[in-house]
Amino acid sequence: LVDTAGFDGVHLDVETVRSGDESYLLLMEEIRGAIGERILSVAASYWLPGVVNGLPVLDRFKWDGEYYREVAERVDQIVTMTYDSVMPIPALYRLWLREQVREIERRLATSNVELLVGISVSRENTMTHHPWAENMRSGLAGFCAGVSSDQAETGSIVRGVAVYASWEADSTDWRVWESWADASGE
């Protein structure tokens, strides 16, 4: 299909892949073999420290730094799903997202992978996602706090953000986006 349609590559959003899943790594290797030099991009769980992620209640449900590195060895681009954080207020979500960006960037700094950070505009209210906390404004603020100016000068792997679910974005979201883009010179 990639050849027939002339696609630049493949993006996979396979949920949920537990940290350390060897079958997923094998799948990435098989896809790489099939598509060659075309772009191989994957959606990734948010990061948790190994000691927390290894607790029986979590059972390696999210990705630790080592697994991020293993996936990065096999793909060209990682798009983090840095939402569904359980954070109940914008300030906590901004802090949480800042640390996600910093830690994932730190773990992947020596790789050749491109990193896009997921920003949620979903209106869905669940036990793990609170739209009044996780939204375009607080997401972009957390992202900007996570990407420092010295990273830009030293060749950061962070390439930008990925808006999810863009079909739920409203005019307020896009005004926030445009304001941010104007301020950042993008």
What pLDDT tens digit does each residue of the chain (186 aa) get? 888 999 999 999 998 899 999 999 999 999 999 999 999 999 999 888 777 767 777 777 889 899 999 999 999 999 999 999 999 999 999 999 999 999 999 999 999 999 999 999 999 999 999 999 999 999 999 999 999 755 555 668 999 999 999 899 999 999 999 998 888 766
Count the Cβ atoms, other than its own, within 10 Å of residue 164: 20
Give the integer Cα–Cα distance in Å for 133 and 126.
Answer: 12
Strand partners, 12: 42
Give the integer Cα–Cα distance in Å for 11 and 25.
Answer: 15
